[in-house]
Amino acid sequence: MFSLIQMECFVAVAEELHFGEAAARLQMTQPPLSRQIQQLERELDTQLFVRTSRRVVLTEAGRVLLPHARQLLDLADRAAADTKAVGLGAEGSLSIAYTAMAGRSILPAIVKLVNKHLPGVRLNLTERITADQLDEIERGTVDIGLLHPQLNRPTITERTLLTEDMLVAVHTSSPHAASAEPIRLDALAREPLLMYQPKTARYFHDLAMLALQRAGIEPRISQYAGQIPVLLSLANAGLGFAIVPASARHFLPEDVRLRPIDFEGMQVKPVQSTLSLAWNAGTTNPVVFRFLDVLEEDVAQEHSLIRATQLI
């Protein structure tokens, strides 16, 4: 079977119609060039050039071979370029899983970042709760997770993307709804609380309980729900108040207001929510590392991702 070197030599001679000029173009001497052409003719069992002391002419077989040879060389170049691009992380696929809150807050900025700096990368996006994201990252079915921090997965690497305040969601009928002043949680001690399901929303359940604990409140829980939009809907129905992250404003119903919590007035440390970016420490997908580099550069320059977090 002929080689790419033989095809390259054949195309050079066919286009130059001169062995000396073809050899110079390929940065080689004429004898090895002639040997490559001879070997190619033996391989194909046909004459490709008519050689005289004064000129070189393509045979009919040579004219048939020329466009195919050009296509083969072009295909080889594109295969090498595509392979190199994938190896450098400039092309390929990146699967990103995200929580419902991340989907409304940071995900759009990340998608824009990838489309701008890694246009050859195909994104696969899927919504998952944090626990499911961690399982899929460990299995390798998800490359990047946008989730709440976990400390019990040694195979997973995390970095903080953003930190946001926890706020109180109250119905417009509440006397606290009209005031812009921070609310002391102990002022809500007698009101029903809408709480996160501890199994499906453990992270926010624990944050809400921590805030109540710091305020010295024994909560009067009226309803449980696993998702923030559902808690807000229940608050909209007048069933109680909820403690939610600042990004909950993306889901805010018409008759619900968000108010800051007066941790300073209670003389306790504020409770904040953290969103992390996670990936498998043993990943072999080069796109992951290229994405992390792009993310690092963007954060360092305070571009789109930082502006997005400031909107939360």
10-residue mean pLDDT profile of the chain (312 residues): values are 86 87 89 89 90 85 88 77 60 87 88 89 90 90 89 85 91 87 89 92 92 90 92 95 91 92 85 92 89 80 52 38
The pLDDT value recorded for residue 169 is 95
- 61 alpha-carbon distance from chain centroid: 51
Distance of alpha carbon 36 from alpha carbon 123, whole angstroms = 45
> Nearest Cα to 76, choosing from 141, 146, 5, 17?
5
Helix axes 60-87, 4-16, angle to 10 degrees: 130
> Nearest Cα to 55, choosing from 12, 100, 16, 112?
16
Query: Which residues have C-beta within 8 Å of that of residue 230, sequence separation ≥ 6?
Result: none
Could you give the domains of the chain? Answer: 4-87 (1.10.10.10), 92-161+275-310 (3.40.190.10), 162-272 (3.40.190.10)
CB count in 10 Å sphere of residue 214: 17
pTM of the model: 0.65
Q: Provide the 8-state DSSP code for 53.
A: S
**What is the identity of the amino acid at 228?**
I
Distance of alpha carbon 78 from alpha carbon 197, whole angstroms = 53
192 φ/ψ angles, rounded to the nearest 5 degrees: -65, 140
Written in H, E and C, the secondary structure of 132-147 is: HHHHHHHHCCCCEEEE
Helices (H), the chain: 4-16, 19-25, 30-44, 60-87, 100-104, 107-117, 130-139, 202-214, 228-236, 286-300, 304-310
Express each pLDDT in 69-108 by its tens digit. Answer: 888 887 877 766 666 666 655 568 899 999 988 888 889 9
Q: Regarding beta strands 144-147 and 241-245, do their DSSP bridges make them parallel or antiparallel, or are they unpaired?
A: unpaired
The pLDDT value recorded for residue 312 is 38
